[in-house]
Amino acid sequence: MLELPHMSYFSILKKDQHTKARTGIIHTAHGDVKTPLFNPIGTKGAVKSIAAEEMRFWGAEMLLANTYHLWMRPGDALIAKAGGLHKFMNWKGAIFTDSGGFQAFSLSKMVKISDQGVSFRSEIDGTMHNLTPEVSMQIQLNLGSDIAVVLDDFPGYPATDKQVAASISRTFDWAKRSKLEHDRIVARTVNPGQKLWGITQGSTFPEMRAESARLTRTLDFVGYAIGGEAVGEPEEEMYKAVDATIPHLEEDKPKHLLGVGTPEQIVQAVARGVDSFDCVIPTREARHGKLYVNLKPGDPLGVGYTTVNITNESTREDFSPVDNTCNCYCCLNFTRSYIRHLFMSGEPLGIRLATMHNLRFYLNLMDRIRTAIDAENFKELSDTYRHRKGLPE
Amino acid sequence: MLELPHMSYFSILKKDQHTKARTGIIHTAHGDVKTPLFNPIGTKGAVKSIAAEEMRFWGAEMLLANTYHLWMRPGDALIAKAGGLHKFMNWKGAIFTDSGGFQAFSLSKMVKISDQGVSFRSEIDGTMHNLTPEVSMQIQLNLGSDIAVVLDDFPGYPATDKQVAASISRTFDWAKRSKLEHDRIVARTVNPGQKLWGITQGSTFPEMRAESARLTRTLDFVGYAIGGEAVGEPEEEMYKAVDATIPHLEEDKPKHLLGVGTPEQIVQAVARGVDSFDCVIPTREARHGKLYVNLKPGDPLGVGYTTVNITNESTREDFSPVDNTCNCYCCLNFTRSYIRHLFMSGEPLGIRLATMHNLRFYLNLMDRIRTAIDAENFKELSDTYRHRKGLPE
């Protein structure tokens, strides 16, 4: 019998000589995605005011959708009936779903966490729900995402070492249960090609970060998400936690840093070996009129980017584009003065154009990162971004 | 000296044999526009959540923008500085502006109307303003629209015959002043090709409608808007008023019916000789989830279209498009079930897709009307629409 050549799930294309950064490709059931990768957030099955096709056109290859929100409304059963979330929202790329745990914990009322799972009261209709590792798998498989993650136990922030130890132990237990359930039913779902990733915890304790990574690794997931970050801890703590986690996971597997971050945080995390990100920053800040602007090489500010608050009086008669280095639809067609007018008048087109621009900024940043790694000058890019925030060397 | 051939402002292409409907072209300073024509509403210099380029792609050739709103914010001086409204909003087609009078009257506080003009307090910042015929011309010329209209005096609805007679007289006086001011300054503005149209009033009194038309005609405008309609009067009164107005205006000049209307009202008004329309219905109803759906020929309902309320429970598991005869982006890519989910979740993409669809429905309707006139079967189309509403023959 002819043996088919082994097709690995994650291909590393190039490793940086000075940092742990690398470029690669994750081969998902809905196409290849290039890493380092940014996942725009489509919380409820839509990126705020943006059509799926537009995202695709700008170079987005994977979106993150929130399991909790879609479970509550319209319900995962309806989405399965529609043929899965890809078909429901007509998104031709890949989809990453979270476990639903973090939102159940933070958005609902009367939350109880036990070894069994998370029970809570819905914010929408007051009904009671139980989110167990098994239920999270069932929902994510009904959504049919390409990357699902295990249900994990987030210890809160700040947390004591005892709380963190308990969180690690429960997260490990839930990871085993998640994996068993996923293996049991994945073949009979709308996306049999869905892959399950593990999650590591450990809060700000480097030893516990390492321990969580070592435990999770024993379950041999195809990829890992690093959880419990960007929850209010100082930025240095986040980098320390990433540094304590990554060496204990297989180098040839992709790693996602949940909920991160600013452009400079993304660059610094890539330097530490992270391959994938998701964050509400570009879309949320767009809604508040905060727009990202690239600085040209040699700009006296000496940094990679700045931001402009489009509602400032100073943009009233500014007939230049938001970012004259940007080729997005907003920057090619409209002036700061016009975007400001749309915001001041409450015209929804303003938020749409701002969202478009900020997402394009993030997607372009990832492209710059990948290009820099490939051209062997990623260190210069990361030094620029470190400089801006006075980050530790 | 070589004489250039006369280029008329309005070319009539085809006249219907059974009704007063006709197809034509208005030659504006920003391109030809085909009539009968629907102007989507870009109140504040933007069509709700839609980019100008999208409107153009769907076949819109002229937009209506509201003078009052743009005067109040961001101010006509800023827009003139930007090079006019076309450049400010990056719209490549033609623009129609109203006089600002109707909004000053209906949206502001402490309105006083005298022979001089309309004085009122701004709803935005409480400042006092005077809208005179001359000021309206100055603002519309700063905006640089392609069709401006004179400031008119709306008698309110219902109105007594005395009020209407006074309104007609003042409207005529203001039309003369508007024309003088327009002639005086048009050459030195951002759009020297702007054309000024007259407005007729007369409320529901056919004799006064006729009198207003006869008076206005003496000023030899290149086109006319019929005002004071769609203000709460019964539909039959509106048709009577149009019938009483049109025969007293030159046949070879274009006529616009301000603020009209539903699809069937548009069809009936075209049959009465109206060439151009503007209305908030498609965009406003889209925001409330009311979507227009074409019925196929032979549908048992026997009518041209129906509407669906997308938030109804009945669309929850409806995986068909909003309108399976429609080729808009919304209908080609998404299901009723998904659009409903976006509305129920408050996702702004829902309103955007609904607006897109309803505008496309209206633009397609105008295309059907033009095609029917051209193919000499407009009577059948108008009978279908008349039948639906039980309209008078």
CA distance A343 to chain B (A): 11
Residue A276 pLDDT more than 50? yes
Shortest alpha-carbon distance between residue B330 and chain A (Å): 9
Q: Is A314 on the interface with B (CB under 8 A)?
A: no
Is the minimum CB–CB distance between A46 and chain B shorter than 8 Å? yes
Among B47, B81, B349, select the one facing A46 at the smallest CB separation.
Answer: B349
- Hey, how many other C-beta atoms are within 10 angstroms of the C-beta on A85? 27
Residues of B in contact with A356 (CB under 8 A): none
Confidence tier at B393 by pLDDT (50, 70, 90): very low
Residue B98 appears among annotated catalytic residues = yes
Q: Which of A8, A60, A45, A9 is nearest to A196 (CA)?
A: A9
Judged by CB atoms within 8 Å, which residues 61-80 of A form the interface with B? Answer: 69, 73-74, 78
Distance CA B52, CA B46 (A): 7
Structure tokens at B133: 């015929």
Out of A319, A341, A351, the one facing B74 most closely (by C-beta) is A341
pLDDT (tens digit per residue) in A63-122:
999 999 999 999 999 999 999 999 999 999 999 999 999 999 888 888 999 999 999 998
Cα B245-B248-B249 angle, rounded to 5 deg: 95
Cis before residue A263, ω within 30 degrees of 0?
A: no
CA B248/CA B251 separation, integer angstroms:
9
Say if the Cβ atoms of B88 and A338 lie within 8 Å.
yes
* Residue of B63, B66, B334, B341 to mutate, interface with A, max A Cβ within 10 Å: B341
Cα–Cα separations (whole angstroms), residue B375 to A143, B22, B251, B371, B379: 50, 11, 21, 6, 11
Q: Is the pLDDT of residue B223 over 80?
A: yes
Catalytic residue among A146, A153, A278, A323: A278
Query: What pLDDT does B106 receive?
Result: 87
A235-245 and A263-271 are packed helices; what angle lies between their axes, rounded to 10 degrees?
A: 30
Considering the four listed CATH numbers 1.10.10.10, 3.20.20.105, 3.50.50.60, 3.40.50.1100, the one that applies to the domain covering A10-279 is 3.20.20.105
pLDDT tops 50 at residue B334? yes
CB contact under 8 A, B319 and A82: yes
Chain B residues closer than 8 Å to A348 by CB: 48-49, 348, 351-352
Q: Which of A78, A90, A353 sits opposite B333 (nearest CB)?
A: A90
Pairing of strands B224-226, B195-200: parallel
pLDDT score of B391 more than 50: no
User: In chain B, what are the domain boundaries?
Assistant: 10-279, 285-383
Contacts of B143 in chain A (CB under 8 A): none
Least confident of A295-299, A317-321, B100-104: A295-299
Is the pLDDT reported for residue B301 higher than 60?
no
- Percentage with pLDDT > 70 across chain A: 95
Contacts of B318 in chain A (CB under 8 A): none
- From the list A98, A146, A153, A275, the catalytic residue is A98
pLDDT digits (tens, 9 = 90+) for A193-240: 999 999 999 999 999 999 999 999 999 999 999 999 999 999 999 999
pLDDT of B283 > 60? The answer is yes
ipTM of predicted assembly, 2 dp:
0.94
Assess whether A98 carries a catalytic annotation: yes
pLDDT of the residue at B383: 83
pLDDT digits (tens, 9 = 90+) for B359-370: 999 999 999 999
